[in-house]
Amino acid sequence: FRCRVCGAQTKLQCHHIRQRAKGGTDKLSNLMTLCDLCHDRHHKEGLKLPKQKSSFYMSAAHVQQGKHYLQAKLSRIAPLRTTFGYITSHFRNNAGIEKSHVNDAVIIADKQASPLDRQIQTKHVQSRKRSLHEATARKGRKTPNRTQKRNNKNVFTLKGFNRWDTVQYKGRVGFISGFTGSSSCYIVDIKGNYIKNPMRTYKQVDLREISLICKNQTIISQ
């Protein structure tokens, strides 16, 4: 144990956050370890103490209040069976699955579930770019850019494909991160690595060489 103010480990005393004279209890949630100096300064000089983590679970109480109502509503739609935490824990431990809300839901749905080595990674993406065009004209222009022409960057769809569509290219699955020119795109995996033709140095992929797997909005998974 350490003093919650200065971190000292000697001459520790037990401080009641709410005084017993005012209804405070000896529960751990109402106790705090302080060294004798900090304890003295708190009562005599009003030394400010760190906030104690709340041990009240009001949100859990709200969930419990609506539990029976929800069960009654669901039972009218389909057959409903309830279970208990110790039962879920038993089957989860037997399967060697870690404790989590998601894993509990899996075990409740299928008591014979087993852990898999595969993982599904999910990522949130922007469906549209913030910039509408390139700030400067593309390099290599042979004539002066007197009309201040800019290259459009906010191309959301091209030839039936949209940004972040899941596509297949040369046996690999990826996502369209953007378009270039009139018939090409860039394809990346879930980690942002480009998928391209290994026989070419550039990253652009012809839209005629890819096949659509599914449409996505702002969530991609792989």
Domains and CATH numbers, the chain: 58-109 (no CATH), 157-221 (2.30.30)
Q: Is 172 helix (H, G, I), strand (E, B) or coil?
A: strand
Q: Which two tokens stand for residue 213?
A: 């797997």
* Model pLDDT, residue 43: 87
pLDDT tens track of the chain, all 222 residues? 788 888 888 888 888 888 878 888 888 778 888 898 898 888 888 888 887 765 555 566 666 778 888 899 999 999 998 899 899 999 999 998 889 888 999 999 998 888 877 778 889 887 766 665 555 656 566 666 666 666 666 678 888 999 999 999 999 999 999 888 889 999 999 999 999 998 888 999 999 999 999 999 889 998
Question: Considering only CA atoms, which of 126, 121, 124 is closest in space to residue 222?
Answer: 121
* Model pLDDT, residue 76: 94
- pTM comes to 0.48
Query: Please, what sign has the CA dihedral across residues 200, 205, 207, 211?
Result: positive
